[in-house]
Structure 1
Amino acid sequence: MLRTSAELRRTAPALIASIPVAIVFLAVLGIVLTAAGPNGLDLTDAQTSGWIAVLYGLPSVIALVLTIRYRQPLLVTGNVFAIIFFVSLGDRIGFAELAGASMLAGAIVFGASVLGLTGRMAGWIPAPIVHGLIAGAVMPFVVNVFTSLSTSHQGVRTPSGPPLMVAGALLAYLVSQRLFGPRLPPILPALLAGLLVAALTGQLGAFPTSFALPHLELLHPAFSWTASATATPVLVALLTVQSNIPSVIYLRSQGFDPPERVLNLVSGIGTVVGSLLGPIAVSLALPPALLTAGPGAGEPSLRYRSVYLPVAVGLLIALFASTASDLAVLVPPTLLLAMAGLALVGALVSALKEVAHGPLILGPVFSFAIALSDMTLFGLGPFFWSLVLGASISLLVEREGWRRLRADVSTLADRPG
């Protein structure tokens, strides 16, 4: 009995550190529902439930297996930045084409891992350029939070319910930040406050009354030049430069020895397989790693246990994916969009910090601006040109910074993994 009690006390920091990650998993569901809705990919209920199941279920299973095998906090996720990216492209590229683009990205990452080229490949796509693109992709969602506070549209007065609902959520978000800081993800009180105001103003829909297993229908990924050129390079960058590589670096800084090549191989294979059910990018994620692998998770030898709670939440969401998709009927679309925007504030802040950090500045700023634009050349949209032109500008006028980044990446690539 005493031994069990002592073991629980030793495990408690790992479990406590993982609670914010589990809450963020739930918050990201709002982004997925936004992506699947009529303002995004306009999926059927069956497609939505299948997509939710693969986004949460597949990475959770992979994370559980890797964590048990290596006794390290290897929290693999469905990359949230990729989900944001899919939302941003929903009005231009179809669901099957996005799945084809993500499958191709997974194949490239897998091939690069087999050949040992992942680190060197990352040197071709400077991380600050990727962060500029991410900031540009995220910004419209954050801006939409404040657009939702409007009481009139084009001179016509709008109902007061939606602005009140979003205002309540925003106020709760800010108060939570002030009172609790990083101890409690502010998106949780924001959602609760938004739902409370929605209930008081009669904006809630019907509550789901039935449970069914998710509908897993194999998708036939479509491959097109436009989708592949627009989405695949960005997804490769998100899988490597933005996710796996910095996560591995952080794990090493905490005294762990993550199996880098295995992680990249699994990331590529998982992305390819998952794309048979919908667009996905399977990878490590740095923000959760800071919590699950950091000092706050307790003794290094027990930090792997911090992965178990997020994995359990991910598997439950996957199992109840059909019911989760019905939440789009319960929660007003305006609140879902506002929750997506508030959930992405942290991502926007992080990306803008990286853009301003250097050593590349001009290229990332142009990348940010282009990603925000409606620029289309030769049938290719702003995200493609955000990477290409942002990198080209840095290569042209910021060569010293480019060389420094390449040297850093080469040092990483030469390390065994």
Structure 2
Amino acid sequence: MTDHIQAAAASQSTAFFQPVFSGILASIVGFASSFAIVLQGLDAVGASQGEAASGLFILTLVMGLVGIVLSFRFRMPLAIAWSTPGAALLISTGPVEGGFSAAVGAFIVAGLLVVVSGLWRPFGRAIAAIPMPLASAMLAGILFNLCLAPVQAVAELPMLALPVVLTWAVLLRFARVWAVPAAVAVAAIMIAISTDLPAGLFTDAWPRPIFVSPTLNLDAVIGISIPLFVVTMASQNIPGMAVLRANGYEPDPSPVFVSTGAVSAVGALFGGHLINLAAITAALCAGPEAHPDTAKRYIAAMAGGVTYVLLAIGAGAAAAFISAAPPLLIEAVAGLALISALAGALLGAVSSERFRLPAVLTFIIAASGLTLFGIGAAFWGLVAGGAVHMLWKNAPK
């Protein structure tokens, strides 16, 4: 009888800690594998070190809080993440006319577009109707040049970059989920032993939210808001919904899109870009690894949200550390983190023979770095690919 009671207690303990551990793991992996991309993206569109740290802090904080509230409210593992593809888009876009204030204005518009997609179902359906091969090709074009950085870093900084790349490659074989976080850790070690870090890096690293007064600039809205919205919906929100449905959940997308879009618009005032439904790390919270009972997996997403709130405290130190590092080494870490996303995007772009050539055109233009009328290549790639697809679709048989 005693053995039976002990076994039951052990089973209950395991049932509680299993989703908690899964949620903690998902958030640590999500943060460690992509915070450098977020910082680099904000820096690329004109943020100062303090503004980038503020943006990282507010993104980490609000995606934790929103994930906790939504998961508890709907009793589903609604894990929330920042838009990593969106940050990659910012890196490829570069400085915009009007500086970071114009970029913040564009972030707000992108957040409001997400709200509209949740409130107005036809608009949401129209975005979902964008052919996935074209959206994947646009994302692949955004990621392509970033994924060249590890090769460039090995050529220019072999003593610093090789240990990072080798660590990633070995862990990719034996413990895939830890490959990027381990590469980040090795990069941090290489930076620490080769760089004069600023005094008081950790003692003065308490997060300091910085309000950024937004300005509306048409070029920034077209060049940042629209591609940021499209790539976030196509690469994060829609796949995130698919992951949940594949694991037996049927969430109403409206409250998810409205809440993440509205919070993103407010968070933009402190430097953040977009938060969204998690796609990659969502599987860690929504799958059977989190809990055998689908009704208990929401605990994993809540634990992940609490972890993000705690990680937000370290945003200032992370930004200061990154700013002191060789830029190419940081780009290399970001590139390693995005290689699997590039592979998935390329596969999605060319898997359909009907869309293959329009998708390849989209990829080429998006990867070219082309800027016309102040608008970046990602937007023009999607326009050109869509135009060619429509031309062929309506051609006489």
TM exceeding 0.5: yes
The equivalences for 1:119-158 within 5 A come to 119-151=124-156
Q: Displacement of 1:332 after TM fit? A: 3.5
Partner of 2:54: 50
Secondary structure (helix, strand or coil) at the match of 1:185 reads helix
Query: What do the CA deviations read for 1:289-327 (whole angstroms, capped 9, x no partner)?
Result: 222112222221221122234323321232232222221
Partner of 1:341: 335
Q: Displacement of 1:82 after TM fit? A: 1.0
Find the aligned partners of 1:126 and 1:71 in 2 and give their Cα distance.
Answer: 32
Partner of 1:165: 160
Q: 1:113 to 1:398 in 2, by over 3 A?
A: same
Is the counterpart of residue 306 in structure 1 residue 311 in structure 2? Answer: no
The equivalences for 1:93-242 within 5 A come to 94-151=99-156, 162-180=157-175, 182=176, 184-198=177-191, 202-203=194-195, 205-206=197-198, 208-242=201-235
Secondary structure (helix, strand or coil) at the match of 1:312 reads helix
Query: What do the CA deviations read for 1:343-362 (whole angstroms, capped 9, x no partner)?
Result: 11111111111112225212
Q: Displacement of 1:84 after TM fit? A: 1.2
Find the aligned partners of 2:340 and 2:217 in 1 and give their Cα distance.
Answer: 33
Secondary structure (helix, strand or coil) at the match of 2:121 reads coil
Find the aligned partners of 1:285 and 1:167 in 2 and give their Cα distance.
Answer: 31
Secondary structure (helix, strand or coil) at the match of 1:77 reads strand
Q: Displacement of 1:199 after TM fit? A: 5.0
Moved more, 126-135 or 3-12: 3-12
Q: Is the 8 A contact 1:149 1:163 kept in 2?
A: yes
Find the aligned partners of 1:4 and 1:320 in 2 and give their Cα distance.
Answer: 36
Query: What do the CA deviations read for 1:81-126 (whole angstroms, capped 9, x no partner)?
Result: 1111122222345322222112112222322322222442224522
Find the aligned partners of 2:256 and 2:385 in 1 and give their Cα distance.
Answer: 29
Q: 1:308 to 1:120 in 2, by over 3 A?
A: closer
Partner of 2:375: 380
Paired AA for residue 273 in structure 2? I
Q: Displacement of 1:132 after TM fit? A: 0.9
Q: Is the 8 A contact 1:129 1:364 kept in 2?
A: yes
Find the aligned partners of 1:236 and 1:35 in 2 and give their Cα distance.
Answer: 15
Secondary structure (helix, strand or coil) at the match of 2:148 reads helix
Find the aligned partners of 2:81 and 2:190 in 1 and give their Cα distance.
Answer: 32
Q: Is the 8 A contact 1:292 1:306 kept in 2?
A: yes
Partner of 2:321: 327
Moved more, 170-179 or 292-301: 292-301
Find the aligned partners of 1:399 and 1:59 in 2 and give their Cα distance.
Answer: 43
Q: 1:357 to 1:351 in 2, by over 3 A?
A: same
Find the aligned partners of 1:30 and 1:204 in 2 and give their Cα distance.
Answer: 19
Paired AA for residue 13 in structure 2? L
Q: Is the 8 A contact 1:363 1:391 kept in 2?
A: yes
Aligned residues with identical type, % of pairs? 24
How many residues are paired up?
Answer: 385
TM-score by length of 2: 0.89
User: Equivalent of 2:359, from 364, 373, 380?
Assistant: 364
Find the aligned partners of 2:323 and 2:246 in 1 and give their Cα distance.
Answer: 45
Query: What do the CA deviations read for 1:240-294 (whole angstroms, capped 9, x no partner)?
Result: 3332223223312322131321112112212221221224112102111222112
Find the aligned partners of 1:315 and 1:372 in 2 and give their Cα distance.
Answer: 35
Q: 1:398 to 1:354 in 2, by over 3 A?
A: farther
Moved more, 218-227 or 165-174: 218-227
Find the aligned partners of 1:281 and 1:133 in 2 and give their Cα distance.
Answer: 18
User: Equivalent of 1:262, from 239, 243, 255?
Assistant: 255
Is the counterpart of residue 25 in structure 1 residue 25 in structure 2? Answer: no
Partner of 1:81: 85
Secondary structure (helix, strand or coil) at the match of 2:280 reads helix
Is the counterpart of residue 14 in structure 1 residue 19 in structure 2? Answer: yes
Partner of 1:396: 391
Residue segments in structure 2 that go unaligned for 5+ positions in a row: none
Find the aligned partners of 1:115 and 1:188 in 2 and give their Cα distance.
Answer: 39
Partner of 1:63: 67
Q: 1:336 to 1:312 in 2, by over 3 A?
A: farther
Q: Displacement of 1:226 after TM fit? A: 0.8
Secondary structure (helix, strand or coil) at the match of 2:158 reads helix
Q: Displacement of 1:204 after TM fit? A: 5.5
Q: Displacement of 1:43 after TM fit? A: 2.9
Q: Displacement of 1:398 after TM fit? A: 4.7
Residue segments in structure 1 that go unaligned for 5+ positions in a row: 152-161, 401-417
Secondary structure (helix, strand or coil) at the match of 2:178 reads coil
Q: Displacement of 1:64 after TM fit? A: 0.6
Q: CA RMSD in A?
A: 2.4
Is the counterpart of residue 272 in structure 1 residue 265 in structure 2? Answer: yes
Secondary structure (helix, strand or coil) at the match of 2:276 reads strand
Find the aligned partners of 1:5 and 1:204 in 2 and give their Cα distance.
Answer: 49
Q: 1:89 to 1:378 in 2, by over 3 A?
A: closer
Partner of 1:90: 94
Find the aligned partners of 1:196 and 1:275 in 2 and give their Cα distance.
Answer: 32
Find the aligned partners of 1:79 and 1:325 in 2 and give their Cα distance.
Answer: 18
